[in-house]
């Protein structure tokens, strides 16, 4: 393993380790209902949401009702997203010039199911299939909602271990609202601003058509990319604004953005074991779970980085410097391997290289 790749991996793992305890404590405070610094701003918003949708935040659910609420919410999100995708050509911010791939019923259904389950298997190219409204109101919104519902279920799972003498697992709607307001929204807002600073577009402009030096015509896709980019990683969704996902320079322009987007994928899953330990009253159990996850992560990262830097032995006489096939030069092998392992361990899928070009 090269020294720059080793140093990057060490810094990444150290930052994750340092964030586990403070983020784990914050998550516990959010979902237990304890005071946080964001309460003066978010508590009024939370109470307003409960009044509008008629939620009683003091009424808890058992496993059956919690599961029903989760399934109904997921079904509603799937149907709404399917509808948006099917009628996007009749909605604002639809550009028929660059929409070269029709959103057929099967493709819309595939996409709706994929995003509502945070699977985000993309069978389409975003820049030639989706309108800006579909990307914002459909996909980005579902990244928040599906990610928050998954986090809510995770907290219910933890309560199942923490509560010995009751069948109550909390209130799904309360957990959902708090996951969005206290966790996903503020982190995504800060992260998106950093991405914009690094060069990720955030506009509603039409695609730019330019003439190249060779005299050909090139269409440069753009749009409200920053809105979707950070939450796709933080919510472990992974669906990209563009077809090539994290390899696109407008989604992931620099090694710094790549590093921050990988932190966004890892920080919440890495911190939840500590939250678990706090809520069951035994932080040693939480640290045990965390170190099991960390060891598996490090093993995978070490193997992939080593194998890619060794390269294909059949091509060793012709190619030096490792296996760069399918990788962006601005990331190199080190950042590509880190991304491959982080997205795979986080089931996110926001890749920045072609995994089918990796060595066996």
> Per-residue pLDDT tens for 269-306?
999 999 999 999 999 999 999 999 999 999 999 999 99
pLDDT class of 83 with cuts at 50, 70, 90:
very high
Cβ atoms 95, 208 nearer than 8 A: no
Report yes or no on 170 lying in a domain.
yes
Report yes or no on 30 lying in a domain.
no
Q: What's the domain count of the chain? A: 1
Residue 114 is predicted with a pLDDT of: 93
Report yes or no on 342 lying in a domain.
no
Distance between CA atoms of residues 229 and 346, nearest Å: 16
Q: Which of 146, 138, 137 is nearest to 184 (CA)?
A: 146
Report yes or no on 279 lying in a domain.
no
| 44-63 exposure pattern, b = at least 16 Cβ within 10 A, e = fewer | eebeebeeeeebeeeebbee
Residue 97 is predicted with a pLDDT of: 67
Q: What angle do CA 295, 299, 305 make, to 5 degrees?
A: 140
Quick one: what percent of the chain has pLDDT higher than 70? 99
Whole-angstrom Cα Rg for the chain:
22
Find residue 327's DSSP bridge partners.
353
Say how many Å lie between the first and final Cα of the chain, rounded. Answer: 17
Report yes or no on 277 lying in a domain.
no
Residue 119 is predicted with a pLDDT of: 85
Residue 319 is predicted with a pLDDT of: 78
Say yes or no to pLDDT of 183 above 90. Answer: yes
Q: What is the DSSP letter of 199?
A: T
Report yes or no on 292 lying in a domain.
no
- Helix 63-86 / helix 141-162 crossing angle, nearest 10 deg: 170
Q: Which of 350, 154, 326, 328 is nearest to 263 (CA)?
A: 350
Residues 69-91, mean pLDDT to the nearest whole number: 94
Q: Tokens 């009424």 correspond to what residue?
A: 59
Report yes or no on 66 lying in a domain.
yes
Residues 82-94, mean pLDDT to the nearest whole number: 89
Percent of the chain as helix, strand, coil, to the nearest 5: 65, 5, 30
Report yes or no on 246 lying in a domain.
yes
Q: Which domain holds residue 82?
A: 38-250
Residues 46-68, mean pLDDT to the nearest whole number: 94
> Per-residue pLDDT tens for 16-30?
999 999 999 999 999
Please report which residue ranges of the chain form alpha helices under DSSP H: 3-32, 39-53, 63-86, 105-116, 126-129, 132-133, 141-162, 172-178, 185-198, 225-234, 255-280, 283-310, 332-345
| 65-79, 96-110, 252-266, 286-300, range with the lowest pLDDT | 96-110
Residues 73-92, mean pLDDT to the nearest whole number: 93
pLDDT class of 57 with cuts at 50, 70, 90:
very high
Distance between CA atoms of residues 282 and 274, nearest Å: 9
Residues 161-165, mean pLDDT to the nearest whole number: 87
Residue 328 is predicted with a pLDDT of: 93
Question: Is the model's pTM score more than 0.75?
Answer: yes
Residue 23 is predicted with a pLDDT of: 97
Structure tokens at 76: 């509603």
- How large is the greatest C-alpha to C-alpha distance in the chain, in angstroms? 74
Residues 198-207, mean pLDDT to the nearest whole number: 92
| 205-219, 261-275, 280-294, range with the lowest pLDDT | 205-219
Say yes or no to pLDDT of 316 above 80. Answer: no
């Amino acid at each position: 393993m090269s020294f720059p790749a080793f140093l990057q991996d060490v810094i990444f793992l150290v930052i994750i380790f340092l964030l586990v305890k403070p983020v784990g404590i914050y998550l516990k405070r959010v979902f237990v209902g304890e005071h946080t610094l964001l309460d003066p701003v978010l508590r009024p918003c939370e109470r307003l949401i409960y009044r509008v949708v008629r939620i009683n935040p003091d009424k808890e659910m058992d496993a059956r009702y919690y599961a029903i609420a989760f399934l109904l919410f997921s079904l509603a999100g799937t149907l709404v997203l399917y509808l948006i995708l099917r009628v996007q050509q009749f909605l604002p911010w639809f550009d028929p010039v660059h929409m070269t791939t029709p959103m057929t019923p099967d493709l819309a259904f595939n996409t709706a199911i994929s995003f509502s389950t945070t699977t985000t298997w993309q069978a389409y190219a975003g820049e030639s299939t989706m309108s800006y409204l579909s990307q914002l109101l459909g996909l980005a919104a579902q990244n928040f909602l599906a990610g928050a519902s998954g986090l809510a279920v995770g907290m219910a799972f933890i309560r199942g271990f923490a509560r010995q003498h009751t069948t109550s697992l909390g209130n799904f709607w309360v957990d959902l609202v708090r996951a969005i307001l206290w966790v996903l929204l503020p982190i995504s807002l800060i992260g998106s601003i950093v991405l914009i600073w690094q060069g990720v577009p955030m506009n509603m402009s039409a695609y730019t058509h330019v003439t190249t030096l060779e005299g050909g015509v090139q269409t440069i896709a753009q749009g409200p990319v920053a809105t979707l980019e950070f939450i796709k990683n933080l919510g472990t969704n992974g669906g990209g604004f563009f077809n090539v996902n994290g390899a696109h320079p407008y989604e992931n322009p620099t090694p710094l953005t790549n590093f921050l987007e990988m932190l966004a994928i890892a920080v919440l899953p890495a911190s939840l074991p500590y939250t678990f330990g706090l809520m069951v009253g035994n932080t040693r159990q939480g640290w045990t779970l965390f170190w099991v996850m960390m060891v598996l992560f490090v093993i995978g990262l070490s193997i992939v980085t080593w194998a890619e830097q060794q390269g294909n032995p059949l091509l060793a006489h012709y190619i030096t410097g490792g296996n760069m096939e399918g990788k962006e030069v601005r990331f190199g092998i080190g950042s590509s391997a880190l991304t491959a392992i982080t997205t795979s361990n986080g089931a996110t899928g926001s890749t920045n290289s072609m995994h089918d070009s990796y060595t066996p």
